[in-house]
Amino acid sequence: MGILELLLIAVGVSMDAFAVSICKGLSVRKLRSRHVFAVSMWFGGFQALMPLIGYYLGSSFADLVTDYDHWISFVLLALIGGNMIKEAFGKSDDTDGVCDDFSFKKMLPLAVATSIDALAIGVSLAFLKVNIWISVLVIGAMTAAFSGVGIIIGNQFGARYKSKAELAGGIILVIMGLKILVEHLMA
């Protein structure tokens, strides 16, 4: 997998955090740099941690499934992407329970919820034999950047970008899954 594919996966997996950051921005009356920093670090940190955990879980049984690892990667990416696409068209409250609180108690569940899909991405990365350290750095940094921008957008413009972000992320992940599958079937 090349850097372009890694960047696309990072963008795709960042979209949940971006969407929640937009909602978080909606709930903040006076946005401060500490809010942007907190959201960026929580979401970027967890988006880096979860693929690392998934990678080591996947690596432990990767040798057992090398004949069909591309199918596993495809299914995981397609399921995550499909769920994001479904959520983009679903009806939801614009703030999804997000409030103007940046405490550990409020941020931890949001960070975990937005990074669960990154755990499955980590499993896929184990099958693709990529450099996990570069991958988690790119995914974490991309998510931190998108989250910081998301809270600003949410604070300035409102919820109109939330579903578009989820749709774009879902489409990217499904396309990456298809690309991995086609490359392995054509080899």
62 by DSSP, 3-state: which?
Answer: helix
Q: Quick one: average pLDDT of 37-52?
A: 96
- Element (H or E) spanning 42, and its range? helix 33-61
Query: Which token pair is 68?
Result: 């069909």
Query: DSSP letter at 130?
Result: -
Instruction: Give me 129's structure tokens.
Output: 């034999």
Rounded to an integer, what distance in angstroms lies between the CA atom of residue 6 and that of residue 22?
24
Residues 137-170: tens digit of each pLDDT: 999 999 999 999 999 998 887 656 667 777 777 7
CA 71/CA 143 separation, integer angstroms: 26
Where do we find the tokens 């755990």?
119
Number of C-beta neighbours around residue 105 at 10 A: 7
Tokens of 82: 């499909």
Contact predicate 76/177, CB 8 Å: yes
Pick from 184, 182, 179, 177: which is nearest to 84 by CA? 177
pLDDT for the residue numbered 113: 82
pLDDT tens digits for range 162-177: 677 777 777 877 887 7
pTM comes to 0.74
